[in-house]
Structure 1
Amino acid sequence: MSERGPKDGERAPKFADLEQLEGVVERTVFHSPESRWTVLRVHVQGEPALVTLVGRTMGIEDGADISARGRWIVHPSHGRQFQLEHLTLRRPTTDAQIIARLKTYPGIKDVMAQRIVKRFGTDTLDILDHDPRRLLEV
């Protein structure tokens, strides 16, 4: 979520006034843990090329499925960008998405992620959240 407020004389945007984009993060171009300023390149359905999203948010892993609210801006040097006001990680729903998410966890490589998903399928993330000891079954 963006922490930047309106400037003097500006009104804060209403949540309903913001446009929504959904997509998959191709890569993080820049992220500052201190300021949380982030630049993402995202595959957005209906857009012919990668979309640049900018704003303050937590670190986002490559391959994350996201939903973003904000507005389009044109930066003088960097061109068309989507200025984030709010960003949400969407829960992975396919085996491939779950495998990609698992591979972001320390110590879980591709083969292990595939074995976990083969064993638990689309219930994998629920098992991790509620009964992680079941991973010993793999």
Structure 2
Amino acid sequence: MQATSPQEKLSGVIERLTFHSQETGFCVIRVRVKGKRDMVTVVGASPSISPGEFVECVGFWNNDRQHGLQFKAVTLNVVPPSTLEGIQKYLGSGMVKGIGPHFAEKLVHAFGENVF
């Protein structure tokens, strides 16, 4: 693996959790970044991570032979969701037993940002 650019900042909403190791914290996530047309693959480490959460990363772009262009996060900070869409994704991600995508949508519709 070879870095293709110096460290930079990247932030956005986690759309999909592709992989997460509970033991090491290693994770591969797909992030919707404002100003980018396609989702960005971010590779990093976090003890706990879920779709709908907002992440702030510092790292560099890496063109992996097998997996293509990725943002390799040296630091990855997870911020709880604050938008209605983020809250709905977070609740519907399976983190809370008994709440799936459909019920999450109903909760957000009924309570808005006060659902937490």
Residue 92 of structure 1: CA displacement? 2.2
3-state DSSP class of the match of 2:38? Answer: coil
The residue number in structure 1 matching 2:15 is 26
Question: Does 2:75 align with 1:97?
Answer: no
Q: Given that residues 20 and 67 in structure 1 are in contact (C-alpha distance below 8 angstroms), is that contact kept between their aligned partners in structure 2?
A: yes
Shift of 1:54: 0.8
Q: Which runs of 5+ in 2 are unaligned?
A: 1-5
**Shift of the alpha carbon at 1:101?**
2.1
Quote the offset at 1:78 in angstroms.
2.4
Residue 65 (1) aligns with residue 54 (2)? yes
- Relative contact order, higher structure (CA 8 A, sep 6+): 2
Work out the percentage of aligned pairs sharing the same amino acid. Answer: 35
Question: Deviation of residue 116 (structure 1)?
Answer: 3.9
Alpha carbons of structure 1 residues 84 and 93: separation in structure 2 relative to 1, 3 Å: same
1:83 aligns to 2:72 (yes or no)? yes
Provide closer, same or farther for how the CA distance between residues 37 and 47 of structure 1 changes in structure 2, counting only shifts above 3 A: same
Report whether the alignment pairs 1:121 with 2:112: yes
More helix by share: 1
Give the partner amino acid of 1:68.
C
In the superposition, the TM-score normalised over structure 2's length comes to: 0.71
> Larger Rg: 1 or 2?
1
Alignment size in residue pairs? 109
Q: Spell out, residue by residue over 1:49-102, the C-alpha distance to the aligned partner (whole angstroms, 9 max, x if none).
A: 221111222242223222212111222332321111222222322333223222
Structure 1: 5+ residue runs without aligned partners? 1-16, 126-138
Distance 2:67 2:100 in 1: 35
Q: Give the aligned partner of residue 41 of structure 1.
A: 30
- Secondary structure, counterpart of 2:86 in structure 1: helix
Q: Specify the SS of the correspondent of 1:46.
A: coil
Compare 62-71 and 115-124 and name the one that shifted more: 115-124
Indicate the residue corresponding to 1:54 in structure 2. Answer: 43
- The whole-number CA distance in structure 1 between the counterparts of 2:41 and 2:18 is 9
